[in-house]
């Protein structure tokens, strides 16, 4: 039995390595078909090519049904966000350790926020990482325990004349947001009439620099990503905050509630977080940050208060 389990794991790992080459093989299939029609290869060679593509596709489909695979969408430039954003980076490390503790093999899918929403609703992925809780999402999503706290705020170019929200002309000003994000909802609630929503987050910063947008509505710590990645002066103060913080909440992972298999996996992640919350592994994650001790104590207090409320 142990040998069989090892064999299945080996096949799964082989699938993970090779599945990314299926698209390349399909492209080459087109070239191979053309070669067959032009008499440059034999039918036997062509048949072998078809069998290989079919085998890899089957392995990929089989691996997607494994109970120990956890597919999760993350932001497009995931590694850079982990580095630049304290809330995103710390939350991801806590989630990643919890997934390993629950014996899941993570399949990470970097994508836009709008694409993440489409994938989870169509049951193409188990989990969406870095979601904030809203009343609309609570209608269809199941939320993980809260990770690190994140707020949203309005930002402007440092040279912009506006310094506070009260001076913003909501009728004339144009504000950029990620499509289908909490910030898009908040912009509507605050009364902005000209909202530019896109799935391409980096485009928004370029538009702000080019003065095609007046403001951006982003997560407070997420803004550091843009300052470090797209600011040519390489300084963290590439934008100024011109509003108070809105909707402070924990970063969450979410599953589609009606997707029972995915929600069961998320429940296992929650259980792992509970089991790990006092662990050396989690404390070591927080210790990487200058304010790590206070971050850890605040997170632990919020988690314990939530547990007490549920009990």
Instruction: Write the DSSP assignment of 242-282 as a string of letters.
Output: -S--EEEEE-EEEEETT-HHHHHHHHHHHHHHHHHTTSHHH
Return d(Cα 55, Cα 217) in angstroms, integer. 46
Domain ranges for the chain = 2-64, 69-148+251-310, 151-247
pLDDT at 291 over 50: yes
Q: Which CATH class is domain 151-247?
A: alpha beta
Return d(Cα 277, Cα 145) in angstroms, integer. 11
Q: pLDDT (tens digit, 9 = 90+) per residue, 164-218?
A: 999 999 999 999 999 999 999 999 999 999 999 998 888 898 899 889 999 999 9
Tell me whether the CATH fold assigned to 69-148+251-310 matches the one assigned to 151-247: yes
User: What is the pLDDT, as a whole number, of residue 7?
Assistant: 41
Q: pLDDT (tens digit, 9 = 90+) per residue, 225-246?
A: 877 777 666 555 688 999 999 9
Neighbours of 67 (CB within 10 A): 11
The answer as to CATH 3.40.50.720 being correct for domain 69-148+251-310 is no
Burial (CB < 10 A; 0-12, 13-18, 19+), residue 206, is: middle
What ranges make up the beta strands (E) of the chain?
69-74, 105-110, 127-131, 141-143, 149-156, 174-178, 194-198, 215-219, 240-241, 246-250, 252-256
């Amino acid at each position: 039995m142990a040998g069989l389990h090892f064999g299945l794991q080996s096949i799964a790992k082989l699938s993970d390595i090779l599945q990314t080459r299926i698209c390349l093989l399909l492209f080459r299939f087109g070239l191979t078909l053309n070669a067959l029609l032009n008499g440059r290869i034999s039918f036997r060679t062509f048949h072998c090519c078809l069998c290989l593509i079919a085998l890899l596709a089957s392995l990929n489909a089989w691996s997607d049904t494994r109970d120990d695979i956890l597919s999760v969408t993350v932001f497009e430039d995931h590694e850079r966000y982990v580095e630049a954003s304290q809330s995103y980076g710390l939350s991801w490390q806590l989630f990643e350790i919890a997934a390993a503790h629950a014996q899941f093999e993570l399949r990470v899918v970097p994508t836009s926020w709008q694409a993440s929403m489409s994938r989870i609703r169509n049951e193409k992925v188990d989990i969406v990482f870095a979601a904030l809780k809203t009343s609309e999402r609570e209608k269809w999503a199941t939320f993980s325990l809260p990770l690190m706290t994140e707020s949203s705020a309005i930002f402007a170019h440092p040279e912009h004349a506006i310094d506070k929200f009260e001076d913003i002309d909501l009728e004339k000003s144009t504000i950029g947001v990620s499509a289908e994000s909490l910030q898009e909802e908040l912009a509507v609630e605050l009364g902005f009439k000209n909202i530019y929503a896109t799935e391409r987050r980096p485009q928004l910063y370029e538009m702000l620099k080019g003065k095609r947008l007046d403001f951006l509505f982003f997560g407070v710590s997420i803004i550091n990503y843009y300052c470090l990645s797209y600011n040519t002066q390489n300084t963290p103060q590439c934008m100024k905050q011109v509003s108070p913080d809105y909707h402070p909440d924990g970063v969450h992972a979410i599953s589609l509630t009606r997707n029972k298999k995915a929600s069961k996996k998320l429940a296992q992640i929650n259980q792992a977080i509970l089991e790990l919350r006092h662990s050396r592994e989690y404390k070591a994650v927080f210790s990487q940050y200058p304010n790590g001790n206070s971050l850890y104590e605040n997170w632990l207090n919020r988690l314990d208060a939530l547990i007490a409320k549920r009990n």
